[in-house]
Amino acid sequence: MTTPSKIEKVGFIGLGKMGAPIAHNILKAGFDLTVYDRVSEKINLLVAQGARGAVSSEEAAMGADVVISCLMDDQSVLEVVTGENGLLAGLKPGGIHIGTTTISPGCAVKLAELHQAHGSLYVAGPVFGRPSSAETGTLLTYVAGDAEAIAACEKLFAAYTCSCTYVGADHKLVNSIKLSYGFMLVGLLELFSEAYTLAEKSGIDLEMMGELILTILAHPMMKEYNTRIRTRDFEPAAFELRAGFKDVELMQQASSEVRAPLPIAGIVREKFLTALACGMTDKDWSAIHEITRQNADLQ
């Protein structure tokens, strides 16, 4: 299988809030761009900027060195790739498909298999960032797949991201990274929500609470806890687990008094209890990570 030595012609499928600005930046970088979306008005906006329009995913892929898809989910990606007039019907042997969509790791494996059978190459490359980052070309991406194909796309990645990290040949790995990233964000959203709710029902000024949250996030201890958990280094304790358990019980007591449920605190309390039962009393309170690992059958 021979990959293109120079990427010149690019097809782009999916011109939504993320896709349209990504495609615009690719066009601005000087690539020969053909675009497709189910909504013709979105195609017309890119055509007005200098792109060519296509009437199907197949046509967007025809003659392209690389086709980029920026869609919604597993189903939409698989339909675009394998459906009637789909991407595979138009992509030439040795052509490259870069998937920027947040999809399941299993779907990434399936896409790689479909492309291998077709004689083309799949590069898993989900993007990290918001539409505003897409507009300024400052998205992040982690990519996996054939190293030669990824190297050939270096200038293309540079057109719409500010950082591209290669993690190896295993396609599903980058999708797991993206989901881990998303989990951290959604976890913080719930944490913020519970903290603000407890503060509001307790009569705390929310602007003051907001300043406290920003102070905590910027505090050096956050880097320390990140390192402790990553390296599983819980001794000596900066804050002993038994003291942490006492604080969590006080949190729950306070939340009960003002009728502000804290589901996360309940989950954490059970892990503290298990850690104490396992003899971790004097370890740092971040050692509850060991209970999370045990629950996942990690040794």
Query: What angle, rounded to 10 degrees, do the helices at 241-258 and 263-277 form?
Result: 150
Whether residue 178 lies in the annotated active site: yes
Backbone angles phi, psi at 167, to 5 degrees: -115, 0
Q: Kind and range of the H or E element at 27?
A: helix 19-28
Backbone angles phi, psi at 8, to 5 degrees: -125, -50
Q: CB of 286 within 8 A of CB of 272?
A: no
Q: Kind and range of the H or E element at 250?
A: helix 241-258
Beginning with the edge strand found earlier in the chain, give each strand of the sheet holding 161-166 in spatial order: 127-128, 139-143, 161-166
Counting Cα atoms < 13 Å in the Cβ hemisphere of 254 gives 17
Question: By C-alpha distance, which of 163, 127, 172 is closest to 145?
Answer: 172
E strands present in the chain: 9-13, 32-36, 52-53, 66-69, 96-99, 121-124, 127-128, 139-143, 161-166
The string of DSSP codes covering 144-162 is: BS-HHHHHHTHHHHHHHEE
Torsion of CA 268, 273, 277, 283, to 10 degrees: 50
Catalytic site residue from 172, 178, 271, 283? 178
Question: By C-alpha distance, which of 146, 128, 189 is closest to 2?
Answer: 146
Q: Tokens 């050692």 — which residue? A: 287
CA distances from 100 to 68, 105, 133, 248, 254 (A): 7, 13, 14, 40, 44
Which residues are part of the catalytic machinery? 178
